[in-house]
């Protein structure tokens, strides 16, 4: 096969549509997209290879490839509405997000795309926030904005809404769980319109798609990935905001939390974060001073280019595929561990894992680990 090479952002509409088709195809997530782009010379070549790879991984039916007409429809609908697509590898894609393991290959955006490359701080919290919590979020958003930071949140009720409102005058980014055109919750339609005018709305999901429960955790990794730090204001013990905080820690970002009354269940999660080592926040100075003292290091553009060469599928024996599949279970296991267990080169095992991913029997977790889907 040809030598591995880095891939760059598409330039022509035809190339952009090929990216859309590949990412919208079945079982192709952000990390799998990167692996395919590293392994093949183009998205078109990857699309041609998908059916055979999925079949080798055990898929009994034909894998569903995104039709050209569907990609064209999405592209045309978004651009007609004034939205645009930004791709990893170009100057408008957030370098912090690009450095994360699960960075989307592209985003649909409405509004001021330049905000994505500025200093960003995320703010998240309870949907059923108290009046005091909303006031704190609104004031923190406003002050951090006047001090040069863009506020990132998820447009949810409560803390998200207040944070966006506080930062409207200086710049705020709303990360959507559904398509960039789908306002959720509906009562934030007015706020959404104002953010489109003075801030930026972004999504990795297809244009026109309504958010579903599984989309929100995916959205949260983008909220944290864009940001140097995540501020949690009021979060219950099982709050989705804690998922964002976990992503931030995994992405080596700072986690901040505003303390609350131990009698208020809406503060149980945020207080627990402080116990576990999050920076306690009493005001904007606590955030700004810490980030100034411990700035996030500049990060390189993430290329997904592995240090090994994939083996051709025909060179991999079927019994080895079965052995690798049997080694995978419900607990995540790293590629290096599978290499040690089998004694095979990394390129061989990585090729088998890619086939299993595309067949829908294996999923890739944080830290380049893999587990079987049960």
- The answer to whether residue 163 scores a pLDDT higher than 90 is yes
Specify if 229 maps to a domain.
yes
What is the 3-state secondary structure of 138-184? HHHHHHHHHCCCEEEECCCCCHHHHHHHHHCCCCEEEECCCCCCCCC
pLDDT cut 70: percent of the chain above it? 94
Condensed to tens digits (0 to 9), the pLDDT of residues 165-216 reads 999 999 999 999 999 999 999 999 999 999 999 999 999 999 999 999 999 9
- The answer to whether residue 302 scores a pLDDT higher than 50 is no
Specify if 300 maps to a domain.
no
Is residue 86 within 8 Å of residue 93, measured between CB atoms? yes
Whether residue 241 sits in one domain with residue 120: yes
Whether residue 273 sits in one domain with residue 210: yes
Task: Count Cβ atoms within 10 A of the Cβ of residue 82 and give its class: 0-12 exposed, 13-18 middle, 19 or more buried.
Answer: exposed
- Answer with the one of 82, 104, 126 that is the final residue of a domain: 82
Higher pLDDT, 299 or 31: 31
Whether residue 111 sits in one domain with residue 37: no
Chain centre distance of CA 33? 13
Whether residue 260 sits in one domain with residue 111: yes
Query: What pLDDT does 7 receive?
Result: 56
The β-bridge relationship of strands 333-334 and 369-372 is antiparallel
What's the first-to-final CA gap in the chain, in angstroms? 33
Query: What pLDDT does 296 receive?
Result: 72
* Domain span including residue 40: 13-82
What CATH number does residue 336 fall under? 1.10.10.10
- Answer with the one of 293, 328, 354 that is the final residue of a domain: 293
Query: What pLDDT does 308 receive?
Result: 66
Q: Which of 118, 108, 310, 306 is closest to 209 using CA atoms? A: 108
What is the DSSP track for 200-229?
Answer: EEEESSPTTPPP-TTHHHHHHHHHHHT-SE
Specify if 335 maps to a domain.
yes
Q: Could you give the 3-state DSSP secondary structure of residue 333?
A: strand
pLDDT band with cut points at 50, 70 and 90 for residue 161: very high
Integer Cα distance of 164 and 141 in angstroms: 7
Whether residue 133 sits in one domain with residue 77: no
Whether residue 336 sits in one domain with residue 192: no
Mean pLDDT of the chain: 92
- The answer to whether residue 4 scores a pLDDT higher than 90 is no
- The answer to whether residue 3 scores a pLDDT higher than 80 is no
The β-bridge relationship of strands 84-87 and 106-111 is antiparallel
Is residue 195 within 8 Å of residue 111, measured between CB atoms? yes
Is residue 124 within 8 Å of residue 231, measured between CB atoms? yes
Specify if 159 maps to a domain.
yes
Integer Cα distance of 2 and 150 in angstroms: 42
Whether residue 142 sits in one domain with residue 267: yes
Whether residue 77 sits in one domain with residue 99: no
Helical residues (DSSP H) of the chain, grouped into ranges: 13-23, 30-39, 43-56, 68-80, 95-98, 131-146, 159-167, 189-198, 215-225, 241-250, 268-275, 284-293, 318-327, 335-342, 346-359
Specify if 289 maps to a domain.
yes
Condensed to tens digits (0 to 9), the pLDDT of residues 234-281 reads 999 999 999 999 999 999 999 999 999 999 999 999 999 999 999 999
- The answer to whether residue 295 scores a pLDDT higher than 90 is no
Integer Cα distance of 4 and 6 in angstroms: 7
Whether residue 238 sits in one domain with residue 117: yes
Whether residue 325 sits in one domain with residue 270: no
Query: What pLDDT does 327 receive?
Result: 95
Q: Which of 312, 336, 305 is closest to 56 using CA atoms? A: 312
How large is the average pLDDT for residues 115-128?
97
- The answer to whether residue 1 scores a pLDDT higher than 90 is no
Q: Which long-range contacts (CB under 8 A, 24 or more apart) does 66-71 make?
A: 66/20, 66/21, 66/22, 66/23, 66/24, 66/25, 67/21, 68/17, 68/21, 70/21, 70/24, 71/17, 71/20, 71/21, 71/24
The 8-class DSSP code of residue 199 comes to S
Whether residue 323 sits in one domain with residue 212: no
Specify if 366 maps to a domain.
yes
What CATH number does residue 156 fall under? 3.40.50.450
- The answer to whether residue 313 scores a pLDDT higher than 80 is no
Q: How many domains does the chain have?
A: 3
Specify if 270 maps to a domain.
yes
- Alpha-carbon dihedral angle through residues 20, 23, 26, 30, given to the nearest 10 degrees: -170
Whether residue 276 sits in one domain with residue 181: yes
- The answer to whether residue 283 scores a pLDDT higher than 90 is yes
Specify if 306 maps to a domain.
no
């Amino acid at each position: 096969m040809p030598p591995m090479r880095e891939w760059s952002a598409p330039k022509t509409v035809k190339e952009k549509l090929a990216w859309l088709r590949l990412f919208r195809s079945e079982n192709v997530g952000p990390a799998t997209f990167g692996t395919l782009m590293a392994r093949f010379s183009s998205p078109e070549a990857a699309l041609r290879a998908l059916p055979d790879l999925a079949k080798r991984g055990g898929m009994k039916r034909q894998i569903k490839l995104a039709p050209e007409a569907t990609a064209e429809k999405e592209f045309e609908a978004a651009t007609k509405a004034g939205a645009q697509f930004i791709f990893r590898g170009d100057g408008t894609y957030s370098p912090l997000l690009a450095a994360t393991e699960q960075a989307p290959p592209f985003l649909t955006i409405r509004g001021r795309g330049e905000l994505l490359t500025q200093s960003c701080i995320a703010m998240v919290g309870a949907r059923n926030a108290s009046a005091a919590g909303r006031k704190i979020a609104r004031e923190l958003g406003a002050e951090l904005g006047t001090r040069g930071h863009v506020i990132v949140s998820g447009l949810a009720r409560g803390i998200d809404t207040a944070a966006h409102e506080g930062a409207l005058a200086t710049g705020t980014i709303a990360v959507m769980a559904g398509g960039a055109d789908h306002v959720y919750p509906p009562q934030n339609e007015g706020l959404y319109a104002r953010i489109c005018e003075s801030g930026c709305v972004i999504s990795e999901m297809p244009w026109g798609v309504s958010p579903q429960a599984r989309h929100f955790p995916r959205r949260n990794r983008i909220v944290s990935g864009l940001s140097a730090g995540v501020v949690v204001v009021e979060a219950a013990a099982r709050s989705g905001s804690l998922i964002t905080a976990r992503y931030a820690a995994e992405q080596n970002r700072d986690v901040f939390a505003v303390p609350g009354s131990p009698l208020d269940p809406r503060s149980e999660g945020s207080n627990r974060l402080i116990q576990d080592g999050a920076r306690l926040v009493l005001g904007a100075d606590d955030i700004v001073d810490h980030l100034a003292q411990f700035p996030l290091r500049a990060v390189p553009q993430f290329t997904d280019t592995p240090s090994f060469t994939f083996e051709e599928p025909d060179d991999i024996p079927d019994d080895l595929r079965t052995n690798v599949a049997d080694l995978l279970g419900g607990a995540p296991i790293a590629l290096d561990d599978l290499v040690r267990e089998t004694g095979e080169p990394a390129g061989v095992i990585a090729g088998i894992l890619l086939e299993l991913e595309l067949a829908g029997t294996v999923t890739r977790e944080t830290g380049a680990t893999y587990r079987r889907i049960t």
